[in-house]
Amino acid sequence: MPKIVNIGFDSFIITDKILAVLPIENSIVKRLKQHGIESGKTVNLTFGKRTRSVLITDSGHIMFSFLPPEKLIGKLFNNENEDKIDREV
């Protein structure tokens, strides 16, 4: 059974679908962002907050998150699926 994780503000993702979690400052991310916008495969999960990380999925979607990469990796892969989400990031 796939693991579903809350990645903030009641947004959920299936961990098996994630290929990479990257910091927004990465130069590759800037190119991926433009490609995603052009192809219509971007999902903004920041809810008005500053973008801190990017998730790349197996379907080619690029998801922008307000959570730092370290926190996302902890939630996705280290079994930190908590019911409480820090809304004051």
Whether residue 6 is contained in a domain is answered as no
Whether residue 43 is contained in a domain is answered as yes
Q: Could you read off the pLDDT of 24-74 as tens digits, one per residue?
A: 998 888 888 888 889 999 999 999 999 999 999 999 999 999 999 999 999
Q: Could you read off the pLDDT of 74-83 as tens digits, one per residue?
A: 988 775 544 4
Whether residue 31 is contained in a domain is answered as yes
Query: Containing H/E element for 53?
Result: strand 53-57
Whether residue 5 is contained in a domain is answered as no
What mean pLDDT is reported for the chain? 85
Q: Could you read off the pLDDT of 11-35 as tens digits, one per residue?
A: 999 999 999 999 999 888 888 888 8
Whether residue 23 is contained in a domain is answered as yes
Whether residue 7 is contained in a domain is answered as no
Whether residue 2 is contained in a domain is answered as no
Domain residues for the domain of 35 are 17-77
Q: pTM for this structure?
A: 0.80
